[in-house]
Structures are given as structure tokens and as C-alpha cells.
Amino acid sequence: RSIYKLEKEESIPDGMCIDTEGKLWVACYDGGRVIRLDPETGKRLQTVKLPVDKTTSCCFGGKDYSEMYVTSASDGMDKESLSRQPQAGGIFKV
């Protein structure tokens, strides 16, 4: 079933994961963010913006799963885009 319709600035859904509270996190490819959704109500609960556009996936780790790791891509980016986003293709800890 569909639980949420992405806003235009959220762009394309990519990798996803569920946190310890049962909420869904979605990496927004070309949206530069990860969003947290309540799968029961369909409401967006949180937005984490990143310094890169192409967020690809997310997962939780650390001793108590309080750290979120977000991957990103740099494929298809030209030199100008890469100069504006030098961290593209990196992994981020939130």
C-alpha cells in the first residue's frame, strides 16, 4: 500500500530502513535529504538535509543504533557539479 506521496523537492525515493520505533526512513535521490515517515499515519516526521543531492540509502548502527549512516552517489555528475558538492559519493554519519 502507498503510505506517502513525495513532495517535488524530495524527488525520487531510493534506499530505505526502519528505525527502532518502527518509523520508515527514505533516502531521497536528487533530493539531498533523508526523510522519516510514520507508516501508520503517512505523515513526514523529520527531514535531515545533507550537503549532497544524490542520497542513495540509509541504515542505523552504533552501540544503541542511535547513529544513522547515509550513502550518496557521484555517478553522472560533471566537474562543475562535483566542485559544488565535493562530498558526493561519500558516506555520512548523522
Domain boundaries, the chain: 8-93
Residue 1 has what pLDDT? 84
**What average pLDDT does this structure show over 39-66?**
96
- Residues with a known catalytic role: 14
The H or E element containing residue 61 is: strand 55-61
**What average pLDDT does this structure show over 42-63?**
97
Domain 8-93: give its CATH code. Answer: 2.40.10
pTM higher than the cut 0.85: yes
**What average pLDDT does this structure show over 8-25?**
96
- Please provide the average confidence, as pLDDT, over all residues in the chain: 96
Q: Using DSSP bridges, classify how beta strands 12-18 and 33-37 pair: parallel, antiparallel or unpaired.
A: unpaired
Residue 38 marked ligand-binding: no
Is the pLDDT assigned to residue 24 strictly greater than 90? yes
Residue 70 has what pLDDT? 98
CA 57 to chain centre: 6
Q: Using DSSP bridges, classify how beta strands 44-49 and 55-61 pair: parallel, antiparallel or unpaired.
A: unpaired
